[in-house]
Structure 1
Amino acid sequence: MRMAVIPATDEADEGSDLLLWVLVWGELAAFGILLIGYLVMSMLHPESFALAKLHLTPRLAGFNTVVLLASSWQAALAANSQDKPGRQRLFLLLAAALGFLFVALKFVEYSSEWTAAGDENLQTFFELYFLITGFHLAHVAFVAALFVLAAIRLERSTIVILTTVWHVIDIVWLVMFPLIYLS
């Protein structure tokens, strides 16, 4: 018995588009709330936040920004290579590898910051810092893993959704980076 293939309808596409935008706006809202909380606390404790930032490594975070943007570029290339499955897989795996490199570099960065986090005077900053950057890091690791799975089973809608979410993760980092590391 042969199964019939049901073509995607505009109605189904609209439903997945709606789900994607709910996800995107939900992520932006969650990170927005965290970043607003960070800004409020930085205004309430300017001295301790300034002192805590001396323990950060902005150069490593800056390099990690380039890594994340390069990963995003690979994801965009994957989304635009639907007629070339081999290239699409390669781009997805490169996006994932760069995402995992971001994660590894972030753990290197955390290892040098962890000791300062125990200082009672810097505790508020580092609690927020690890919460915000850790939440972002979890997103990077999760979507990078999904890129690997997407490379195994290429599906246009999945790749578009993952790439869109990846770009949102980039936007969040591009706001976080100067706010936390450079201000």
Structure 2
Amino acid sequence: MSTAECEQQESGWGILEDLPGDPMIWVLIFSELVAFGLFLGAFSVTRVIHPALFAAGQSALDSNLAGLNTVVLVTSGWAAAKATKAARAGDRPMARYGIFGAMALGGLFIVIKLAEYADEIGRGVGLETSPFFTLYFLLTGFHLLHVGLGIVILAVVCRRAGISGVETATAFWHMVDLVWIVMFPVLYLVK
């Protein structure tokens, strides 16, 4: 066994050490991806069981606002990636600007999503309206919680803007992006 293999075995993290940021964030990310996958799986199975109900529910959603939110969140991921690049280059002020940009766009995502919820609730749509809306609100609410958590994580690392912290926060933020990129078409577009 080589020295590198021995060191890798001793650390206990294996392949996680090769990923950017703290290895524990990757444990969290993988567990969150499983949770979102289960939610999306339940949504997809229920859609097969109740196709007309899901078509009616989907037609009541505002896909334009959701599309705008997709652009906002993907742009925030770009800002977070720029922050990581700046942190790796030792440019902490630029890393902070990227983090602030990602946080601001994350905040805008929340505002848009809450406006969408307000419109839906104003039209009498809620968790108990149908299985579609139960799963819709659970999925999007769970995601919204992660956007808020991601903003908090970004805020925590912003002060120091060190490489490891920025990489860790950005990894989580990209998970939030990825989940939305998968959720958006499943919830709003796929018939």
State the TM-score, normalized to the length of structure 2: 0.84
The whole-number CA distance in structure 1 between the counterparts of 2:101 and 2:59 is 33
Q: Does 1:14 align with 2:22?
A: no
SS of 2:96 mapped into structure 1: helix
The whole-number CA distance in structure 2 between the counterparts of 1:17 and 1:90 is 22
Higher deviation after alignment, 86-95 or 145-154: 145-154
Match of 1:117 among 110, 125, 132: 125
Partner of 1:47: 52
Gaps of 5+ in 1: 1-8
Identity of aligned residues (%): 40
Partner of 1:5: none
Q: Does 1:62 align with 2:70?
A: no
Q: Does 1:36 align with 2:41?
A: yes
Q: Does 1:80 align with 2:85?
A: yes
The whole-number CA distance in structure 2 between the counterparts of 1:73 and 1:145 is 18
C-alpha contact 1:55 1:116 (8 A) present in aligned 2: no
RMSD: 2.2
Partner of 2:101: 94
SS of 1:117 mapped into structure 2: coil
Query: 1:119/1:171 Cα in 2 relative to 1: closer, same or farther (>3 Å)?
Result: closer
The whole-number CA distance in structure 2 between the counterparts of 1:96 and 1:21 is 21
State the TM-score, normalized to the length of structure 1: 0.87
Higher deviation after alignment, 144-153 or 100-109: 144-153
Match of 1:141 among 144, 148, 152: 148
Q: CA deviation at 1:85?
A: 1.1
Gaps of 5+ in 2: 1-6
Partner of 1:3: none
Higher deviation after alignment, 81-90 or 128-137: 81-90
Partner of 2:3: none
Number of residue pairs aligned between Structure 1 and Structure 2:
174
C-alpha contact 1:92 1:151 (8 A) present in aligned 2: yes
The whole-number CA distance in structure 2 between the counterparts of 1:18 and 1:151 is 19
Partner of 1:172: 179
Cα offsets for 1:31-75 (capped at 9, x unmatched): 000000000111111111111112100011001000000000000
The whole-number CA distance in structure 2 between the counterparts of 1:84 and 1:178 is 37
SS of 2:39 mapped into structure 1: helix
